[in-house]
Amino acid sequence: MLTQSAEAVNIYWEQRGMSAPLMTEKLSLRKRSVTIAGHGTSVSLENAFWDALKDLAEDRGISMNALITEIDKERTGNLSSAIRVFILENMRRF
């Protein structure tokens, strides 16, 4: 039997067309190695952001590394945060 709060979470996501386990997967952090300007680094993002970044790179006809390099050139703070903001700003255009 689910607690009231667990049931409320399930209802919330079901109303949005997603199941709670799927949402949990989308929120899981994933660390990937990327190459920026010839040097390697790692970036941690939630799976949902990696999916969105992949889609944006494909739409532009470039690799994810190339898109991350573009974002890196413009950032002033943390790379992971800059990627999230870039994705948010691009998604707002749709």
User: What is the share, in percent, of the chain residues with pLDDT greater than 70?
Assistant: 83
pTM, 2 dp: 0.73
pLDDT score, position 12 = 74
Is residue 1 situated within a structural domain?
A: no
Of the candidates 51, 55, 80, 77, which has an alpha carbon nearest to the alpha carbon of residue 68?
80
Which H helix or E strand runs over 41?
Answer: strand 39-46
Say if 4 falls within a structural domain: no
CB 11 within 8 A of CB 46: no
pLDDT confidence tier of residue 17, bands split at 50, 70 and 90: confident
User: What confidence tens digit (pLDDT) does each residue in 43-87 have?
Assistant: 999 888 999 999 999 999 999 999 999 999 999 999 999 999 999
Q: Determine the Cα–Cα distance for residues 72 and 85; give it in Å rounded to an integer.
A: 12
The three-state secondary structure class of 29 is strand
Cα separation, 21 vs 76, whole angstroms: 35
Domain of residue 61 covers 29-92
Q: What is the CATH number of the domain that holds 44?
A: 1.10.3990.20
More confident residue, 54 or 7: 54
